[in-house]
Amino acid sequence: MKITQRFSNTLNATIQNNTGLLALMDQSLIKPYMRKVILYFICFISFQNYAQLTPENEQVQNTSSFLEKTEFKVGYFGNILWNQGLNVGAEYLWKEKIKIKERRRGQKTITNQFLLNGSLGFTFNPSTETDTGIFTHYGLIWRRTNTKGKQFSVTLNPLGYYRSILPETYEVKNGEVDKVFLPGRSYYAPSMSIGFGKFRKDKKLSGRYFNINFMLRTPYNAGTSPSISLEYGYRFNFKKKKRDAKNNN
């Protein structure tokens, strides 16, 4: 009933703003089918105006800048036992859908987001110098956040690059021994991950996350080299405080 009343009020306001169209509908020059088209047009405008209203009849305006939609992240990356590293990156909010459901204990809010993801990291092995490399990944994140701020995410990175870094290496060319400049190999390295986290509302340090990553390196000798790693870190937003201050005014 509330939704019907809201739409009725919106329709009445739209009709008052389009009195010129209604005057034309009363003239004999307007054919009956044209009157229907004009009426449908007024109803369409009313629906568009209604769709842009919140339950409090406030129009929603998307004024977020690029930085306000972007969160940066930094965290540990490795498998704890022998491979350690660091991963930094950024996430840009591409699409967001918020569902609000009424429950006996109050409102339940579920937020689904799609984010564009980019990262750059490195790993090294403290006990050996043969398992060191840098990598970069680009892809898409789907993330679900519940009312309590608990998050679940799935990340797909079809664009990935891994460069292994070898210790001092020499090669023989034309009977002479030469030192290799930047020894190592390059690999195509797509990855995917499943993650869990916690969202902190209205904070610059906007959340923490724990991801289980699976990466492939190919071509590796005659096949593919899989690897599993863990990632734990924090996300932050430089514009969070400034944006919240605007919303409170």
Same structural domain, 101 and 40: no
Tokens 């405008």 correspond to 45
Residues 125 and 30 in one domain: no
Residues 166 and 220 in one domain: yes
What is the predicted pLDDT for the residue at 247?
Answer: 45
Strand-pairing partners, residue 230, are 78, 212
From the list 75, 92, 102, the residue with the least C-alpha distance to 2 is 102
pLDDT in the model for residue 172? 76
Question: What parts of the chain have a pLDDT lower than 50?
Answer: 1-4, 7, 10-11, 14-15, 18-25, 27-31, 33, 44-45, 47-61, 242-249
Phi, psi of 40 (to 5 degrees): -65, -35
pLDDT at 112: 95
CB 89 within 8 A of CB 116: no
- 58 part of a folded domain: no
CA atoms within 13 A on the CB side of 111: 16
Contacts of 203 (CB under 8 A, 6+ apart): 240
User: What per-residue confidence (pLDDT) applies to 103?
Assistant: 78
Q: Is residue 121 part of a domain?
A: yes
Same structural domain for residues 130 and 241? yes
Per-residue confidence (pLDDT) for residue 11, from 0 to 100: 47
Specify whether 39 is located in the same domain as 83.
Answer: no
Supply the pLDDT for residue 52.
42
Q: Find, among 60, 115, 73, the residue nearest to 237 by Cα.
A: 73
Are residues 18 and 135 part of one domain?
no
**pLDDT for 240:** 55
Q: Over the stretch 43-79, which tens digit does the pLDDT of each residue have?
A: 544 544 444 444 433 333 455 788 888 999 999 999 8
Put simply, whether the predicted model's pTM sits higher than 0.75 gets the answer no
What total of structural domains would you count in the chain? 2
Q: Using only C-alpha atoms, what is the Rg of the chain? A: 28
CATH for 86: 2.40.160.20
**In terms of domains, do 99 and 195 share one?**
yes
- Answer yes or no: do 75 and 136 share one domain: yes
Residue 7 counted as domain residue: yes
